[in-house]
Chains A and B, each alone.
Chain A
Amino acid sequence: MIQKLGFGNKVGVDWALMEFLGRFAFAEWLEGLGRITMLARDAFVSFCRLKVSWKDLLYQIYFIGIKSQSVVLVTGAFTGMVLAAQTDFQFHKVKMDTATLAVVSVSMCSELGPVLTALMVAGRVGAAIAAELGTMRVTEQIDALRTLATHPVDYLVVPRVVASNIALPLLTVESMCIGIGASYVVGVYLLGIEPAYAWWNMLKYSGDADVMIGLIKSMVYGGIISLIGCYKGLTCSVGAQGVGRATTEAVVYASITILITNFFLTMTLEQVCVILGL
């Protein structure tokens, strides 16, 4: 391949190799993105045709929502606590202690609540989805589904995507509440912030828009986690190594996608809020 590209010297060979690998990686990334988009379209069409099994949907809501609560609550509580402490340490220097909870509240609602919840769920649920579907693929259970005239998207993907889109906003609300509650406890009882002012400032600077931004983000992240998990599971290569790789990639790709998407969502939703005057 390198010879075909016509590079003779060492530097040329390196560049050619890097260019080739770069193009290959980009093409592979683009192909994956296209396939996930098609999977999302198939899932949407299947959902609109009411092909979803309600029993499976309820089980997935239980698995993704109920079973993720402990990890989300612990993450939310300690994030709120450390954010309150760190903010107060800095604000204390400029005598702005009573603004601490306002910062925590806005951060928990629009950024940390949805993002940290999504990252924790990506680690727990994204990995589980990829491992389960990957194992089904390598043991021919997905082929068995197809021979039983059942579309894998209807039976496996739709319940997981819909359940994620329902569970993630609810988990995010829990994370926001526990984070703000924990920060109040740390701020008022540990750091000695005046509770009335702290509470008043929090209500003054946090709005419905912050909560709405958080909820919209969490729905998007729910879709990202489940779609990437399903895609990696359904396309994993054969063998135990293939399932392991699919599981790892599902968590890594979902986490990176969430972090990148978060930036663009923040910028877009803030602009939307400004335009709508929220």
Chain B
Amino acid sequence: MIEVRGLTKSFGSQKILDQVSFQIDHGESVVIIGRSGGGKSVLLKHLIGLLQPDAGEVIIDGENIVAMNERHLLRVRRKFGMVFQGAALFDSMTVAENVAFGLRRHEHLTEGETAKRVAKTLELVDLPGIEHKNPAELSGGMRKRVGLARAIIYEPQIVLYDEPTTGLDPIVSDSIDKLIMRVRDHLQATSVVVTHDMRSARRVGNHVMMLHDRRIYANCTPEALFTSPDPVIRQFVDGVADPEGIQF
């Protein structure tokens, strides 16, 4: 279970998150939405301890990770898999080496067993037979899928997705959404997806949290969010720019 209590984070004088609190139960699929630069990715990075908050607690299965040092955090991070916005593949390695990285570091498998697990995971993300390619040879969508394969190969309990469909065409975005749902069902893992793609939010989440004005503004089901009469939520869901904010 993930529990966030009173999380506050500033960069310099700019406060990004202010007293953010929520709870995500095991097996839930939660989507965090909000405007660009609103602190969604910052919030996601706090869940895995990549950033340290100024105040507040992040509790993973009863352990407060804010109080942990980097070495103790490594043990907690084995529960996580994370898909980065830009995939963050290791460009000095092949696809197979990227995907097998977590396995090789933490599980003592033979080369044959590792190769089998890599092939199986690449098949799960619809990319069979690309083990020997380099990340530079892959398209944006393929890179994200390889990033997903790397994150799920050791079957983590929690999978974090940082804007998985950003910069992809609608067809590839659709396939990534289906993959997220497939991984969720296959691993029975908790999923936390940061996105501002409303179609994606509706499909992959059974819970949606909207980050607005440095706080969690809404925490509800996708249906409740999409039918909400609240003007702030409506503006975001309908994708309407504030007329006073547009300057030519």
Residues of A that sit less than 8 Å from B by CB: 136, 139-141, 143-144, 146-151
Contact = CB atoms under 8 A, between A and B. Distances in A.
Given A140-B85, A140-B86, A149-B105, 15 more contacts: A136-B90, A139-B91, A141-B89, A141-B90, A143-B50, A143-B88, A144-B88, A144-B90, A146-B77, A147-B77, A148-B105, A149-B74, A149-B77, A149-B78, A150-B74
B71 interface: yes
Interface centre among B81, B85, B91 (most CB of A within 10 A): B91
A54 B239 CA distance: 53
Contacts of A136: 90
B101 to A, nearest CB: 6
Nearest to A148: B102
B111 interface: no
B101 A139 contact: no
Contacts of A141: 88-91
A238 B22 CA distance: 31
A139 B75 contact: no
A275 B238 CA distance: 82
Contacts of B85: 140
A139 B48 CA distance: 18
A144 B82 contact: yes
Interface string B72-102: 0111011011101110111100000000011
29 contacts: A139-B88, A140-B84, A140-B86, A141-B88, A141-B91, A143-B50, A143-B88, A144-B88, A144-B89, A144-B150, A146-B48, A146-B49, A146-B50, A146-B73, A147-B77, A147-B80, A147-B82, A147-B151, A148-B77, A148-B105, A149-B75, A149-B78, A149-B102, A149-B106, A150-B74, A150-B101, A150-B105, A151-B71, A151-B74
Given A139-B86, A139-B88, A141-B91, A147 B71 contact: no
A136 B88 CA distance: 8
A140 B50 CA distance: 11
Nearest to B105: A150
A144 B77 CA distance: 11
A143 B105 CA distance: 16
Contacts of B77: 146-149
A141 B84 CA distance: 9
Contacts of B81: 147
B74 A140 contact: no
B167 to A, nearest CB: 15
Contacts of B89: 141, 144
Given A148-B101, A148-B105, A143 B74 contact: no
Nearest to A142: B88
Nearest to B80: A147
Given A149-B78, A149-B105, A149-B106, A144 B84 contact: yes
A158 to B, nearest CB: 14
A259 to B, nearest CB: 32
A139 B88 CA distance: 6
Contacts of A149: 74-75, 77-78, 102, 105-106
A148 B70 CA distance: 13
- In the A-B complex, the 5 residue pairs with the smallest Cβ-Cβ separation, listed nearest first, are A144-B88, A140-B88, A147-B82, A149-B77, A149-B74
A144 B48 CA distance: 11
Contact of B150 (A139, A140, A143, A148): A148
Contacts of A151: 70-71, 74
B74 to A, nearest CB: 5
Interface string B104-146: 0110000000000000000000000000000000000000000
Nearest to B71: A151
A127 B248 CA distance: 45
Contacts of A147: 48, 50, 77, 80-82, 151, 160
Nearest to B75: A149
Contacts of B48: 146-147
A38 B110 CA distance: 36
